[in-house]
Structures are given as C-alpha cells and as structure tokens.
C-alpha cells in the first residue's frame, strides 16, 4: 500500500491540498500546530476579490451544516484524512518516497469527532471554549490554563463522552511518501518600528487587528470603536509598507497589503457611518484585477497622501496627532485621528527556517523557495517535497488554492 502524504499547516492551502488528495483516494496526514485549523483566513471578515465573507470563501466543502450533515465536515469525517491539531513535526528522517516524520501531539481533551457542540460543558467552566463560530473542527476546545472546579462536572455530563481531562501529550511517527509545506505566513508585529508607535498606544493597530474589529461576529459586532475608550472611530489613517520594502526589516514588497488596506478603507467608508479614511503610501501597488478597490476607494472619498509618517503625538482625549511629510506637496501635514492602522509586512512563520534546514530546502527571504523558478515547477521545493500558499511568500487566497491544486496534480501524476 502507498504511504500517505504529510501536509504541514492547515490554512486554506493545506486544507485544499488535503481534501483534494483525500477525495482522489490518497491518504493524508494533516498537521497544524494550533488547536483549530483554517489559518489566517479565519480572521479576515470579507475577502477580495469577491467580497464574500471568509466563512464561505474558505469553501463549503470544509464546513459542516451543509444539507443534513450538521455535525460533519470534510476535515474530520473524510476517512482519508488523519487530522492532528495542536501538533508539530519534531523531526523528519528517511528519504523521498519513505520519509519518517516524528509528530509531537498535544493532549486531545475534547474529541472533535464526538463533540456535537451542545454547549453543556461551557455552562460549567470557562476552560471550555468555542474559539470562533466558524472554527474547524467544529468542536469546543479545552484550555487547561483556565481550569476550574466545574471541569469535572462538564466531563461527567458531556452527552457524547467527548471529554477526557486526563488526556496527555504523545509522540507518534508516521511514514509518508511526500511532504507538502503549507505553513503560511505571520503578520509582523511592528513593535520595533519606532516611528509608528505600535504597542505604545491602544489606538495603533495592524490590518489583521482591524479586520477583526470590522467583523460583525467580533467583540463590537463590527462597529469601529477606539480600543482605548470605546468611543466611535470617526477618522482613521492607514500607513503602507510597514516593515516591507525596508532594509531594516524586510526588503521585499509584501504584495497584498495595498489591496487589503484598500478593501478595509472601502468597507469603513461604505458600510460604517461617517468615517473619514486616509492612506499614507509610497506607491499603491494593486496588481491584477484589484485596481477596482483603488478606484472605489477614491470614489468613496478616501484621501491618499504620498509621503511618510514622521511623528505621532497622543492627545489626552484618546486621539492621536499624526505628522506626515507629503512628498508631492513638499509639506508637513498634521492630522488628528482616532485609529492608526499599520499595513504590516507578511513574514515567514516561526519555525519555518528550522523546517527548511531539516529538509535541506532553499529559502527566499525566509519563505520556502522553489527548486526551479520555471512557472510550472514553482510548487516543487525538493525531491517529493512541495510547498503551496503563503509558505512560498505573500499571496492571496485564490493563488494559494491554485498552488495547492498544482501540488495535488503533481502528486497524483507521480502515482500513476
């Protein structure tokens, strides 16, 4: 029997690769280091290019609640997928076609296949949580750092016996034929970029943090409020290229941050009342079909200032004075704003370089590099080792999905 394929990372790219291989009859071991899967896309609210909300955008096939299978989802119930959450790959040995991957598996306190989301455990203890309404697997998780007296009762009363408070971490070694790296990206937390003051004032946030604030399922039900005091946001300023195109941090352009900033600017001006948005930029780089967001933003009255932010001065009323050098007017401008949003670089996730050096892979700016830049081989990164999605560098979801499909097609061809 042919060995399964190991997929490391269960964001959009890893999930797509896993499901499509599984549907083609290939066994898959899908590993994610977090307790739920879906990756960064879970927190993004609306998605360019279609403006669907991300819950649907990630693909109904991974979702339960379709037709009558209310508690089923391809990720947990497709028999060809072995899903390991809270798991990392500790070591990989062997060779192409017969790799041995040692997995460090976190304790599985709640069995996602048994949990029917009745919510009883959450009535007894705050240690049981539903991390987000759209999380996958659709199950509660148990957080031992919040342990309470009610935990035991929750375990006893769980109607499906899904809870095991004595669960322990374990190690497992799996034999796999191919490896897919789908470890994605991390949004840089720009604490060291002093000029933007991230971490010094609550009203200075990143775009990923803004996406959560805009989400109707979020804490403020999508109303934009100042984190400092809950006052409505009336003036918001975004600044582009934070940490990207900057020799001090990442020399590369993060490619998609102009588009998601414009997407957020359009949402804020169109869907929220009386919010003025300005964007401070060096260049606006909308690629492909995304120019429509730039056009829409200008039509909606978003103000664009070409220049650099030079200083931020917090006021006692919670607002911020921002001094911007406008390079077209050759003038310093002062704006008073409620929320300052940083379009931060997309950087390789923690542990990416260890994984690459273990597998002897090439890196490009910290992301996985293809062995050969010829377009049709862009997903091949080693012998029977592939990468897809943002593990290869900043990319949007459709691109990540296409790369995942390219990997699947290569693996299926190699098995003919």
Q: How many alpha carbons fall within 13 Å on the CB side of residue 108? A: 18
CA–CA distances in Å: residue 192 to residues 136, 188, 200, 394: 33, 10, 11, 21
**CA dihedral over 218, 220, 225, 230, signed as positive or negative:** negative
* Residue 183 binding ligand FAD, by CB under 6 A: yes
In angstroms, give the least distance from the CB of 96 to ligand SF4: 36
Q: How many alpha carbons fall within 13 Å on the CB side of residue 366? A: 17
In angstroms, give the least distance from the CB of 327 to ligand FAD: 26
Using alpha carbons only, give the angle 90, 95, 100 rounded to the nearest 5 degrees: 35
Q: Which helix (H) or strand (E) holds 321?
A: strand 320-326
* Residue 242 binding ligand FAD, by CB under 6 A: no
Name the residue nearer to ligand SF4 (CB basis): 99 or 250.
250
Locate 204 and state its tokens: 């200075």
> What is the x/- site pattern for ligand FAD, positions 344-373, by CB under 6 A?
-----x-x---x------------------
* Residue 10 binding ligand FAD, by CB under 6 A: yes
In angstroms, give the least distance from the CB of 142 to ligand SF4: 8
Residues 256-275 that bind ligand FAD (CB under 6 A): 256, 260, 263
Binding-site partner at residue 389 among ligand SF4, ligand FAD, none, CB < 5 to 8 Å by type? ligand FAD
Stretch that binds ligand FAD, among 4-12, 101-109, 234-242, 303-311 (CB under 6 A): 4-12
CA–CA distances in Å: residue 63 to residues 169, 192, 320: 28, 39, 42
Binding-site partner at residue 343 among ligand SF4, ligand FAD, none, CB < 5 to 8 Å by type? ligand SF4
> What is the x/- site pattern for ligand FAD, positions 33-62, by CB under 6 A?
xx--x-xxx--x--xx--------------
Name the residue nearer to ligand SF4 (CB basis): 158 or 401.
158
At 141, phi and psi to the nearest 5? -120, 160
Interface with ligand SF4 by CB under 6 A: which residues? Answer: 110, 115-121, 128, 140, 158-160, 162-163, 240-241, 244-245, 253-255, 257-258, 283, 285, 343
In angstroms, give the least distance from the CB of 2 to ligand SF4: 35
Name the residue nearer to ligand FAD (CB basis): 181 or 275.
181
Name the residue nearer to ligand FAD (CB basis): 48 or 386.
48
Burial class (CB in 10 A: 0-12, 13-18, 19+), 236: buried
Contact with ligand FAD (CB under 6 A) among 26, 31, 176, 258: 31
**DSSP for residue 289:** G
254: left (phi over 0), alpha (psi -120 to 50) or beta: alpha
Binding-site partner at residue 193 among ligand SF4, ligand FAD, none, CB < 5 to 8 Å by type? none
Contact with ligand FAD (CB under 6 A) among 4, 14, 64, 370: 14
Stretch that binds ligand FAD, among 5-13, 111-119, 160-168, 327-335 (CB under 6 A): 5-13
In angstroms, give the least distance from the CB of 123 to ligand FAD: 29
In angstroms, give the least distance from the CB of 118 to ligand SF4: 4
Q: CB of 7 within 8 A of CB of 84?
A: no
ω before 137 within 30° of 0 (cis)? yes
Binding-site partner at residue 251 among ligand FAD, ligand SF4, none, CB < 5 to 8 Å by type? none
DSSP 206-222: EHHHHHHHH-TTSTTTT
Q: How many alpha carbons fall within 13 Å on the CB side of residue 292? A: 7
Buried b (16+ CB within 10 A) or exposed e, 182-199: bbbbbbbbbeebeebbbe
Q: CB of 76 within 8 A of CB of 69?
A: no
Name the residue nearer to ligand FAD (CB basis): 313 or 354.
354
At 249, phi and psi to the nearest 5? -125, -85
Q: CB of 171 within 8 A of CB of 90?
A: yes
Q: Which helix (H) or strand (E) holds 157?
A: helix 151-157
* Residue 390 binding ligand FAD, by CB under 6 A: yes
In angstroms, give the least distance from the CB of 204 to ligand FAD: 15
* Residue 389 binding ligand FAD, by CB under 6 A: yes
**Binding interface with ligand FAD (CB under 6 A):** 8-14, 31-34, 37, 39-41, 44, 47-48, 88-89, 182-185, 187, 207-208, 211, 256, 260, 263, 349, 351, 355, 389-390, 395-398, 400
């Amino acid at each position: 029997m042919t060995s399964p394929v190991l997929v490391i990372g269960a964001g959009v790219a890893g999930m797509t690769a896993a499901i499509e291989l599984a549907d083609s009859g290939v066994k898959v071991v899908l590993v994610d280091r977090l307790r739920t899967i879906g990756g960064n896309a879970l927190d993004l609210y609306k998605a360019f290019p279609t403006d669907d909300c991300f819950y649907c955008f990630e693909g109904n096939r991974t979702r339960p609640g379709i037709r009558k299978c209310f508690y089923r989802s391809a990720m947990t119930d497709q028999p060809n997928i072995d899903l390991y959450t809270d798991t990392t790959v500790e070591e990989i040995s062997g060779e192409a076609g017969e790799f041995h991957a040692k997995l460090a598996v976190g304790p599985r306190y709640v069995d996602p296949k048994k949990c029917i989301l009745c919510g009883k455990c959450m009535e007894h203890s705050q240690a049981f949580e539903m991390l987000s309404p759209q999380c996958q697997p659709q199950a509660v998780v148990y957080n031992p750092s919040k342990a309470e007296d009610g935990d035991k009762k929750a375990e006893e009363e769980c109607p499906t016996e899904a809870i095991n408070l004595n669960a322990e971490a374990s190690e497992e070694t799996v034999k796999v034929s191919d490896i897919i790296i789908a470890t994605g990206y991390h949004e840089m937390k720009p604490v060291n970029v002093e000029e933007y003051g991230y971490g010094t004032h609550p009203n200075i946030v990143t775009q990923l943090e803004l996406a959560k604030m805009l989400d109707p399922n979020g804490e403020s039900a999508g109303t934009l409020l100042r984190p400092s005091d809950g006052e409505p946001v009336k003036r918001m300023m975004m600044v582009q290229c934070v940490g990207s195109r900057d020799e001090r941090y990442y020399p590369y352009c993060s490619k998609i941050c102009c588009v998601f900033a414009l997407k957020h600017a359009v949402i804020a001006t169109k869907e929220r009342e009386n919010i003025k948005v300005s964007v401070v930029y060096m260049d606006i780089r909308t690629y492909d079909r995304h120019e429509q967001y730039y056009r829409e933003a200008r039509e909606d009255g978003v103000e664009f200032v070409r220049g650099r932010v030079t200083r931020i001065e917090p006021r006692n009323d919670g607002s911020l004075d921002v001094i911007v050098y406008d390079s077209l007017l050759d003038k310093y401008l002062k704006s008073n704003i409620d929320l300052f949003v940083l379009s931060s670089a997309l950087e390789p996730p923690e542990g990416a370089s260890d994984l690459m050096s273990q597998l002897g892979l090439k890196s490009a700016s910290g992301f996985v590099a293809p062995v050969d830049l010829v377009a049709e081989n862009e997903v091949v990164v080693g012998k029977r080792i592939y990468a897809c999605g943002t593990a290869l560098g900043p990319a949007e979801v459709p691109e990540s999905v296409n790369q995942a499909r390219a990997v699947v097609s290569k693996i299926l061809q190699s098995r003919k």
